[in-house]
Amino acid sequence: MISVTSSPIERFGLRFLYVVGRNFLVWRKLMFASMVGNMADPMIYLVGLGFGLGAFMPPISGMRYINFLAGGMLCYSAMNSATFESLYSAFSRLKIQRTWEGILHAPMTVADVVIGEWVWAALKSTLSGGAMLVAMYLLGIAHGWRPLTVMPVVLLIGLAFSGLGLIMTALAKSYEFFVFYFTLLITPMMFVSGVFYPRAALPRAVQVAASFLPLAHGADLARGLTLGLPIAHPVLAVMVLLTYATAGVLVAIALIKRRLLN
Amino acid sequence: MLQVRGLRKSYSGTEVVCGVSFSVAAGQCYGLLGPNGAGKTTTLKCCLGLTAHDAGSIELAGLSIPDAARMARKRAGVCPQFDNLDPDFTVAENLVVYGRYFGIARRAMLERVPRLLEFAGLEDKAKAALSTLSGGMKRRLTLARALVNDPQIIFLDEPTTGLDPQARHLIWDRLKGLRASGRTLILTTHFMDEAERLCDRVGIMDHGKLIAEDAPRSLIDTQIEPQVVEVYGDDVRGFAADIAPRFAERVEMTGETAFCYCRDPAPLLEALQSRAALRALSRAANLEDVFIKLTGHDIRD
């Protein structure tokens, strides 16, 4: 009999780390392609829109357009990474490859698997967000150590969007389902959350609606922390992101339990 | 090693397992047989705590299911019906990563991999991508993966479905080896020859109930006439209706073949001599005959 004594991971209920580890090993193999998608893409937008569009734009609250855009793009890229990972990649492991089914035959539970996927997608977000931050330093937008404090917020943004994404994955019958999520939720959210232009430009009702969205709060926090600007409602912003993150993962666990353990 | 008592499970109002009880002693190979939809896979899922049962009790390796399912799965291996090997990893990586889910350290797994690959007959495929493996190789790898934790009991859901005869024989060979090493095997199968070859005991399930249970040989001895004459050809229906019942205890038509079950086939074969249009095959009764007698001739979808 091989010794299967409890490791610290198991004693502290951290078995989800095995799922994170599995995904990391796969990611390492495809690292280059993955990094181009997750990091280069938003940077191209930042440079393209920031300098191109920025040449025609007046300063926003006294800052260059590219500076304004950078804070928003950092949050947008974190959202995108977490969303793609928790939708397409997670769905292929759930349905196409049956990877989760295989894991559940081991001494693992649905909660272990879903929390592992949730954390993993958020870690990919921090990689994308971190790359944007490096770009901001290189372009002279960020200065000193203070902008680094945005990283825990990026992780939280990642957890919020991977929680939401995993709910969609739990409900999806096929990849086509995700088109609804992108078209009806993610894309409009991107335009009302103050990523590309200040929310003050929007009608009052839309501004109120946006104040319930995680991206709006994420963008406010990211912009404030990276540029050293005051943040209007920092505690509220963190609370909203925390709520989306925890509610998202709990609902996803319940839905995936119903889907797989029946 | 496994005790199931009064197991019941419904899906959205339809009961698919209706009061199943059986037990498997350590070191035995137990086969669950039954037509599609009989409740075999659901029974296995309940035994592993992968779905909660509605009534009854299950004890696996001395642990109550589903309360202690995680601990019980630590001691069990599972070879699923559908391939869920990890296509993002090589053959060896599949084993190492799967061992991690059991809390087995990477280094300990790396030491075990050569033996597992040898068991699977994949020694020279350690670094191969999964997409380069044949169906038989994948099934052997899945079986090796079920052994990463050195389990006392192994669940196999249709382990040879979809494999060619050579690949099936290789799997049988490995399963016999596992049984010889003292492990308990629980398998579901549609193949009666497989059950007859491998299982110490079989349970035949139909419509969610266990309708017969015994050693394969005893089932054949007690449930059915010892000899079968299969008759086919022109006007087999007329023969089956008028002539055959005079010489055989029981005659069943399946498609265009008459199955004549009897104690002594000689008189029937003699009666067939004068009928050139009919062809006959005389053989000893087997588990498949028992299975068809008990579950009927209708096709299940």
Query: Backbone phi, then psi, for A197, in 5-degree steps?
Result: -155, 160
Shortest Cα–Cα distance, A182 to chain B (Å): 27
What does the alpha-carbon distance between residue A221 and residue B54 come to, in Å, rounded to a whole number? 49
CB contact under 8 A, B149 and A101: no
Beta carbons within 10 angstroms of residue A43's beta carbon: 21
C-beta of residue B211 within 8 angstroms of C-beta of residue B33: no
CB contact under 8 A, B101 and A18: yes
CB contact under 8 A, B74 and A6: no
Shortest Cα–Cα distance, A121 to chain B (Å): 17
CB contact under 8 A, B73 and A262: no
pLDDT at A1 (0 to 100): 44
Half-sphere exposure of A153 (CA within 13 A, CB side): 31
pLDDT at B239 (0 to 100): 81
CB contact under 8 A, B101 and A108: yes
Does residue A26 sit at the B interface (CB-CB below 8 Å)? yes
Global ipTM: 0.90
* Residue A159 CB contacts under 8 Å (≥ 6 apart), including other chains: A82, A118, A119, A122, A241, A245, A248, A249
Does residue A6 sit at the B interface (CB-CB below 8 Å)? yes
Closest to B267 measured CA to CA, from B249, B284, B285: B249
C-alpha triplet A68, A70, A73: angle, nearest 5°: 115
CB contact under 8 A, B98 and A106: yes
pLDDT at A11 (0 to 100): 80
Q: Which of residues 48-87 of A touch B (CB under 8 A)?
A: none
C-beta of residue B173 within 8 angstroms of C-beta of residue B265: no
CB contact under 8 A, B88 and A26: yes
pLDDT digits (tens, 9 = 90+) for B68-121: 999 999 999 999 988 899 999 999 999 999 999 999 999 999 999 999 999 999
Long-range contacts at B267-273 (CB < 8 A, ≥ 24 apart): B268/B229, B268/B244, B269/B229, B271/B243, B271/B246, B271/B247, B272/B229, B272/B231
Does residue A261 sit at the B interface (CB-CB below 8 Å)? yes
Report residues of chain A scoring pLDDT below 50: 1-2
CB contact under 8 A, A7 and B103: yes
CB contact under 8 A, A102 and B103: no
pLDDT at B297 (0 to 100): 66
Shortest Cα–Cα distance, B200 to chain A (Å): 24
CB contact under 8 A, A107 and B70: yes
Query: Taking CB atoms and an 8 Å cut-off, how many pairs form between chains A and B?
Result: 74
Which residue of B lies nearest to A259 if distances are taken between CA atoms? B51
CB contact under 8 A, B108 and A105: no
Does residue A104 sit at the B interface (CB-CB below 8 Å)? yes
Best mutation target among A3, A15, A105 (most B Cβ atoms within 10 Å) is A105
pLDDT digits (tens, 9 = 90+) for B187-209: 999 899 999 999 999 999 999 99
C-alpha triplet B146, B147, B150: angle, nearest 5°: 135
C-beta of residue A111 within 8 angstroms of C-beta of residue A170: no
Best mutation target among B53, B88, B98 (most A Cβ atoms within 10 Å) is B88
Shortest Cα–Cα distance, A216 to chain B (Å): 36
What does the alpha-carbon distance between residue A120 and residue A113 come to, in Å, rounded to a whole number? 10
- Kind and range of the H or E run holding A80: helix A65-84
Instruction: Give how far Cα B166 sits from Cα of B162, B170, B195, B286, Å.
Output: 12, 6, 17, 22
pLDDT tens per residue across all 301 residues of chain B: 999 999 999 988 899 999 999 999 999 999 999 888 889 999 999 999 999 999 999 999 999 999 999 999 999 999 998 889 999 999 999 999 999 999 999 999 999 999 999 999 999 999 999 999 999 999 999 999 999 999 999 999 999 988 889 889 999 999 999 999 999 999 999 899 999 999 999 999 999 999 999 999 999 999 999 999 999 988 888 888 888 888 889 998 888 888 999 999 998 888 888 888 888 899 999 999 999 889 886 666 5
Half-sphere exposure of B7 (CA within 13 A, CB side): 30
Which residue of B lies nearest to A113 if distances are taken between CA atoms? B101
Closest to A160 measured CA to CA, from A257, A244, A92, A219: A244
Please classify residue B219 by burial: count the beta carbons closer than 10 Å to its beta carbon, then call 0-12 exposed, 13-18 middle and 19+ buried.
buried
Best mutation target among B12, B14, B44, B100 (most A Cβ atoms within 10 Å) is B100
CB contact under 8 A, A10 and B103: yes
Half-sphere exposure of A200 (CA within 13 A, CB side): 4
pLDDT at B298 (0 to 100): 67
Q: Which of B85, B93, B103 sits opposite A6 (nearest CB)?
A: B103
